[in-house]
Amino acid sequence: MTAARTPTPARPPTPTLRPTRLGTLFLVLVVLTLVGCVNYGLSLGYGLTFLLGGVWVVSAAQALRAVRGVRVGAPVPASAPALAGQPLSFRVPLGHEGRAAAPGGALRLRVLARQGEQVQTLSAATPTGAADGGLNLNLPDPRRGALGLEGWRLSGLDPLGLWTADLPLSGKTGPGELRLWVAPAPEAQAPAPPALFAAGHAETGRRAPGQDDLAGLRPYQAGDAPRLVSWRHAARTGALLTRELDAPAGQAPALDWAATAGLPGAEARLSRLCAWVLAARAQGDAFSFSLPGTVLAAAAGEAQVAAALGALSAFGTPPAVPAPAPARRTLLSPVRLSPGRRETLPAGPLRFSLLALAVALLPGALRQPVWLTALLAAGLGYAALRAGQDPAAAVRGPRRLPAIPAAALALVAVLGALGLNAAYGTLLGQDAGTALLGLLIVLKAAETHTRRDARLLSLLGLFLTSTHFFHDQGPLTALHALLATAALLAALGGWVLEDGEDRAAADEAAPAPATGHPTTGLRRAGHLLLLAAPLAALLFALFPRPDGPLWQLPVRQGAQTGLTDSISAGEFSALAQSREVAFRADFTGALPRPEERYWRGPVYELYDGLRWTQLRALFNASTTEVFGPTRSYTLTLEPSGEPWLLALDVPVTQPRGTYFTSAFQAVAYPPPSRRARYAFSSQAARLGLNEDERRLNVNLQVPAGQNPRALALAQGWRSLAPAQRVQAGLGVFRTGFSYSLNPPRLPEHDRIDAFLYGSRVGFCEHFASAFTFLMRAAGVPTRIVGGYQGGEVNPDGGYLTVRQQDAHAWAEVWLAGQGWVRVDPTAVVAPARVRADLGTALTQPQATVARPPGTLARTLLRLDALQNSWNTWVAGYDGTQQRTLLARLGVQGVGSAPYLLALAALTGLALLPGLLLARRAARPRDPLARSLHDLGTRLGLPQQPGETPTAYAARAGTQFPALAAELRAVAAEYNRLRYGRAGSDPAGVRALRARVRQVRRPR
């Protein structure tokens, strides 16, 4: 004999995961920001982009978890009977195998309502935390005939509405295909139906079903009203009996098809018969009913009414109603409402979205014109005040704010663009471009009136947040970006139930309320960001970083602090007022001595009496002879908009993307528009040993007719050897001159004479300019070199910080056999400027050692060390550092087989938290409910929504007969602990859980 095989219970199908329209737009945003980061090398932009990409990936796991374990029960009509033309509602019970999924996402149930060739989509949604409450499906305008409910589909949305996990439901895992009848619409104010004598007259003693007298008892049948049950008999015998009632036979309405012969058309006749049936039902009267092919004897009760309405519903062929043509939808198409109806947004979520947008706009207030900041604040304030106002409602009290016409918004946009063009000189640069973007986003917020617009604000705010990295990539900017991202994601999650792509019948169904409190939304957004952080960190470190941009656009305008391509008296002293960092230099070995820290920048060779400018001409290449030890160091330059790289001495290696001019300047084209790192190796050298004669002649020129006294003094040295002329020129500055940041203003004509024989107070450019003029007049080719001298040693980081106040100018003289020789006349006047620092030189010009830093200065140096580490490993992380990191890890390089294997393995580890979240079983927190949940898990047969433990034990016992007795015992113990007088004692709960663990599913 072969034992019967226990059938395997049906398991729910695997959900189909796909991005929503909002999720697709979110992905497009991530791709756009990634392209921008690749082109402009925005390291922090990479971090934000990968963080958003991680949120997009992790949200998929959240969507899967939202739908996992949800059970859908059979729909229950909220109103009976179903009548054509009247809204038809269904209550669909929802349950969960364990506790409901973490709130924040949403569940959406969709079903196709088919009547002939017409198909409508019914949809309803609820937050995941409220899934056990069930859903209401509404069919606004059914027509007469058979109504089929098919194509049931349950969808889970993540907390941001980026993904949907679609779960088709069959008869084993959900309601399946259901059919019911829709009766014709009852005729309004129908006349009374005709009457006839039933099967006898009251005076004859004949009886008929009624409500007057007791006729007898019969066995109880399912559906009998409880008021008709003989409870006294049941208490005495234990058997349920139902009382039957009757009344004297008399007149009853005769609802006959022939009685409606005078009406035009079959539908009008059916409507009158339906009205008569409903009237008899309301009075509780018995009636007879006849249709061609259907005859019902006189009777009363719901069974008689249901039979009559069913016959009316199925009679003939219902009139065809053309199905509306589906509207063509695009990715950005909004939900279209019926004419005359306008969508009203909830005030709370919309104002929170505006607040999040204001946080994203905040850094722009520090750099954009004041008038623009005021305009943006006014736009957001207007949108916040209008939030929640129903344009269709008659509002009493203060007058509602009027809507701004689209033409007025366009005019503001044009005027704002003109103002920005006047302020910045262009609309394409990073300053003007980001300011214009902020203006357009605020104007969009001012005219927001649909849920699509509200969601779009969050996406635009995220894009705007990424543009702040054009201006700064410091820790504060990173912190702001993180806070703004969390706020914008929380605002986006407030509209999770408002996904327009699923609202096919938005005209008929009321919009679902927005979900979530701002605090709850921020907590959920923070949770998503934490789950996305491992993947973001991995991609930040290993995603390929190209060394050059994809295309070139102007990304920086406006005045910037730093060296320029020309100088005149007073410009370097103005730079000395600024403590902004120019660059940082990190040496691999010992630091150079203070007098060796000359950072070479632009070379000025042309002089017109007022300004020194650079010489742009082609000359024959000259030789360079290097000597001495090699110094290796890395420069981290702050953006200046200029191409020079401020190298020490003469670089002997050329970093990628740079070259050296004939004036021995290290330059980069295009100029770095953001913080950049360059690795150099430098040596002392003799420059230009065989310099081009044409260049030497240029460096002998002085403006004609100017500075006669200085010219006469220098020409008197021509009889000396060139080296002696240099010493004679330096001797002029040994006495009578003082070093100051505030020298007197010099005249435009004969200013060298005015300085040497008048004020005798100056800064480095005064001394360098006067010395260069004297040397040229004396016949020694001389030029001015601009750059920086010195640098502050950071004891915590072991590097030099060179600030704008360290800007310096010195001279170079050309001597035969030696080439260009550096001569610094400022060191003659104030030796402390070269051997110590600027502050010491201003107070003690002859000092040789800098003053030790105070407590505040040491604190600032520690903060600067942290800033330098941030710049090195976060803001300045580029392709070179990535290759260095890979080399340390033993990986050959980007694109190699070890790299790809490591990337795949680490990506799996980074996604592990999200995958575990999606796979984690939802278990109730209540210990008794957890026991039943575990029992269903062990048997592979979960408890149905609304199913009692006793009913579940009976169903499971039928499925597994060998366990029937044990399952009944478990259910009885559960009921005793849950509902007994003694309550649920801990020992009993532990015993129940141990008993459940002993249950084994039969094989």
What are the tokens at 527? 């949770």
Question: Catalytic one among 256, 471, 649, 764?
Answer: 764
Residue 55 burial (CB count, 10 A): 26
Question: Catalytic one among 471, 766, 808, 933?
Answer: 808
C-alpha torsion angle, residues 541, 546, 550, 551 (rounded to 10): 100
Half-sphere exposure of 778 (CA within 13 A, CB side): 29
| 3-class SS of residue 256 | strand
DSSP class of residue 998? T
The whole-angstrom separation of Cα 387 and Cα 644 is 53
The whole-angstrom separation of Cα 304 and Cα 311 is 11
Length of the chain: 1003
Q: Is 824 a catalytic residue?
A: yes
Do 56 and 23 contact (CB within 8 A), yes or no?
yes
Question: Catalytic one among 649, 824, 837, 864?
Answer: 824
Q: Is the dihedral of CA 222, 224, 225, 226 positive or negative?
A: negative
The whole-angstrom separation of Cα 601 and Cα 645 is 7
Identify the CA nearest to 168 among candidates 17, 8, 14, 10.
Answer: 14
Residue 618 burial (CB count, 10 A): 8
What are the tokens at 973? 């113990």
DSSP class of residue 550? S
Q: Is 808 a catalytic residue?
A: yes
Identify the CA nearest to 107 among candidates 64, 61, 55, 139.
Answer: 64
C-alpha torsion angle, residues 337, 338, 340, 346 (rounded to 10): -30
Angle formed by the axes of helices 347-361 and 475-493, nearest 10° = 160
Distances (CA, A) of 484 to 28, 86, 993: 19, 48, 47
Sequence-distant (≥ 6) Cβ neighbours of residue 716 within 8 angstroms: none
Half-sphere exposure of 682 (CA within 13 A, CB side): 29
Omega before residue 670 within 30° of 0, cis: yes
What are the tokens at 329? 């939808």
Identify the CA nearest to 830 among candidates 775, 771, 761, 782.
Answer: 761
Distances (CA, A) of 496 to 163, 276, 426: 10, 47, 40
The whole-angstrom separation of Cα 300 and Cα 280 is 9
Task: Report the catalytic residues.
Answer: 764, 808, 824
